[in-house]
Amino acid sequence: MAFLLVVIYIAFIGLGVPDSLIGSAWPAIHSQMNIPVEAVSILTFIISGCTVLSSMFSAGILNKLGTAKVTAFSTAMTAAALLGFSFAPSFWFMIPLAVILGLGAGAIDSGLNNYVALHFKASHMNFLHCFYGVGVSLSPYLMSQALSNAGWRIGYRYAFYVQAAITLLLIVSVPQWKKSSSAEQTEDECCVSLTLLQMAKMSEVRLVWVIMLATNAIEYACGVWGSTYLVTEKGFETKHGALALTVYYIGMSVGRFVSGLFSDKISTWKRIGIGAAILAPAIVIMLLPLPGVVCVAGLFLIGLGNGSIYPNMIHLTPHNFGKEVSQSIMGSQIAFAYIGVMLAPPAVSLISRLFGIGVYPVLLAVLYVIMVVALRCFVNRLNRQDKYNTDV
């Protein structure tokens, strides 16, 4: 089981590798191909949209083939897409590759998150999402090395080599997944696939969808627009705005690490509550006309508080809804999380064009209120059904 856990940690690195690659490579790509800067939004929207579809409808395939095979195959899909990007002669060739990349990512995310929620403690769920951060951080480094020497295509090949190595490890590890008797038992139990309509009729599921959408919308609204807000509204230099964004991601990583560290001493629901409580003063800091350096502290606190909510909600899925249907609901949760990823940045862009970037903190506050209200309603429903367990 220890070897399998190591494999899953490495697989989470692979999940993060493609996510930040296009952002770091795009300045070179659009310049070389002579295409508008804004065209990157088409690719990122396609990738996120296909991830949503893959997550939403992954339960049937995962229940039939098992997490090990689906994860290995899907990682191979993402590796093939990265290799394809490195040879793409034009922007239009990148569009089908973006489809492959998104479909592969959604299946990996849904399968691994549900498997870890079923088999491992909450600490591992939090630490695994820290390892996702390793993958997200690795890609820009590899791309920067390639851009200084050989160009963006070589950067994509570097990422492909990493992803191909992870694919090979996953293929080799497939027998290890089968050897776990507990894994086999749970795989057999989790064989009920719910349709989207069936899940939509469950009020508890709808509330979780809202929570996942809101927490991820906050995460990506800060990640995409936090630096721009500081530069435009607080007078930061561009390089200092980028550094502040690094502080935000550090806060997110610290939040997940600390949450995992105290998972044996503080229950999952209490850790979610602590995260939401930390978010409140952070949002207030962003709303008030305070100096820029204080807003940087606010971004750090947003990352610290919000960072642990997503992995802990993911981990609670089998406890909240039952192991039999956890894979279906897990896939739908992740799909709505990616809907938040898709919608938040363009929503900030639209609102900023209409009212100015100064209203950016107001959008964060609205998302926070939506998330907290949904959390409160969800806990109340669990209490009425005697499913709320503060010992989990």
What's the one-letter identity of residue 98?
A
* pLDDT single digits (tens) 55-93: 888 877 887 888 888 889 999 999 999 999 999 999 999
Looking at the structure, tell me whether residues 21 and 99 fall in a common domain: yes
**Are the CB atoms for 102 and 19 separated by under 8 Å?**
no
Phi first, then psi: give them for residue 168, nearest 5 degrees. Answer: -60, -45
Residue 312, pLDDT score? 92
How far is it, in rounded angstroms, from Cα 236 to Cα 248? 15
What's the one-letter identity of residue 292?
G
How far is it, in rounded angstroms, from Cα 215 to Cα 236? 26
* pLDDT single digits (tens) 208-235: 999 999 999 998 888 777 877 888 888 8
Q: Which two tokens stand for residue 388?
A: 């709320």
Residue 191, pLDDT score? 62
Q: What is the CATH number of the domain that holds 29?
A: 1.20.1250.20
Q: Which two tokens stand for residue 331?
A: 């896939």
Looking at the structure, tell me whether residues 82 and 32 fall in a common domain: yes
The end-to-end CA distance of the chain, in Å, is 22
Residue 391, pLDDT score? 57
Report residues of the chain scoring pLDDT below 50. 181-184, 186-190
Looking at the structure, tell me whether residues 166 and 207 fall in a common domain: no
Looking at the structure, tell me whether residues 225 and 165 fall in a common domain: no
**Strand ranges inside 113-215, DSSP E:** none
Q: Tell the residue number behind the tokens 């989790």, with chain if given.
A: 190
How far is it, in rounded angstroms, from Cα 292 to Cα 304? 18
Residue 242, pLDDT score? 67
Q: Tell the residue number behind the tokens 């997944």, with chain if given.
A: 177
Looking at the structure, tell me whether residues 79 and 11 fall in a common domain: yes
Residue 180, pLDDT score? 61
Q: Which of 166, 191, 216 is the last residue of a domain?
A: 191
**Are the CB atoms for 372 and 223 separated by under 8 Å?**
no
The H or E element that residue 66 is part of is none
Q: Which of 191, 220, 237 is the last residue of a domain?
A: 191
Of the candidates 177, 115, 186, which has an alpha carbon nearest to the alpha carbon of residue 331?
115
pTM of the model: 0.82
Residue 8 belongs to a domain? yes
How far is it, in rounded angstroms, from Cα 30 to Cα 139? 18
Residue 392 belongs to a domain? no
Looking at the structure, tell me whether residues 149 and 201 fall in a common domain: no
How many domains, in total, are found in the chain? 2
Residue 179, pLDDT score? 64
Give ∠ CA 334-66-83 in degrees, rounded to 5: 70
Looking at the structure, tell me whether residues 161 and 202 fall in a common domain: no
Looking at the structure, tell me whether residues 153 and 260 fall in a common domain: no
Residue 238, pLDDT score? 67
Looking at the structure, tell me whether residues 253 and 372 fall in a common domain: yes
Of the candidates 257, 251, 260, which has an alpha carbon nearest to the alpha carbon of residue 278?
251
> If you count them, how many residues does the chain have?
392
Of the candidates 171, 5, 159, 160, which has an alpha carbon nearest to the alpha carbon of residue 72?
171
Looking at the structure, tell me whether residues 29 and 168 fall in a common domain: yes
Residue 188, pLDDT score? 46
**178 CB contacts (<8 Å, ≥6 apart)?**
66, 68, 184
Range of the structural domain that residue 292 is part of: 197-384
Q: What are the angstrom distances between the C-alpha of 366 and each of 100, 330, 344? A: 34, 25, 12
**Are the CB atoms for 344 and 269 separated by under 8 Å?**
no
Residue 299 belongs to a domain? yes
Looking at the structure, tell me whether residues 183 and 214 fall in a common domain: no
What's the one-letter identity of residue 159?
A
Alpha helices per DSSP H over 235-316: 238-261, 268-287, 292-306, 309-315
Residue 389 belongs to a domain? no
How far is it, in rounded angstroms, from Cα 26 to Cα 289? 34
Q: How many CB atoms lie within 10 A of CB 363?
A: 19
Angle between helices 326-355 and 360-384 (to 10 degrees): 150
Looking at the structure, tell me whether residues 207 and 156 fall in a common domain: no
**Are the CB atoms for 309 and 215 separated by under 8 Å?**
yes
Residue 300, pLDDT score? 92
Q: Which of 135, 166, 191 is the last residue of a domain?
A: 191
